[in-house]
Amino acid sequence: MTLPHPPVLIDPLEVEFSAIRAQGAGGQNVNKVSSAVHLRYDIPASSLPDDVKERLLALRDSRITQEGVLVLKAQKHRSQDKNRADALARLQELVDSVAAPPRVRRATKPSYGARQRRLEGKSQRSAIKSLRGPVRD
């Protein structure tokens, strides 16, 4: 039995935030307040374990740049603090998704009974289809 993987925590000092203006509807508030947040997280320079870094960089995610910097944009809420917390939560969720190593798939052979059931099903299907042909005297 394998033990559950310990949670990988992100050091807040390694995360870089920049406030930007949010897009979309919102009236005057959107035009005058920089409430959206860009989160930048340099994966290769982070303190994450090496195997977690490799799995993060291997993700086919358009938010990860060529240099390995993850860029998240959060603009769901009207306040900058809530957007900052939302971006951190999404980053933690992404790291958690690759924290546990993938299970190794081992090839197995179908059992004798499973092979027999498969062949029996094929012969039944063949008999049904052969009855669909033209009627002969």
List, as one string, the DSSP characters of 45-65: TSSS-HHHHHHHHHS--TTB-
Q: What integer pLDDT is reported at residue 5 of this predicted model?
A: 63
Instruction: Note if the pTM is more than 0.85.
Output: no
75/80 Cα distance (integer angstroms)? 8
pLDDT of residue 1: 46
The residues that bridge with 15 in the sheet, in sequence order, are: 41
Classify the C-alpha dihedral 14-44-75-89 as positive or negative.
Answer: negative
pLDDT at 84: 93
Domains of the chain in start order, with CATH, are 12-99 (3.30.160.20)
Mean pLDDT computed over every residue of the chain = 88
Q: Is the pLDDT of residue 88 over 80?
A: yes
Is 42 exposed, middle or buried, given 0-12, 13-18 or 19+ CB atoms closer than 10 A? middle
Average pLDDT over residues 78-102: 91
**What does the block give as tokens for 112?**
């004798």
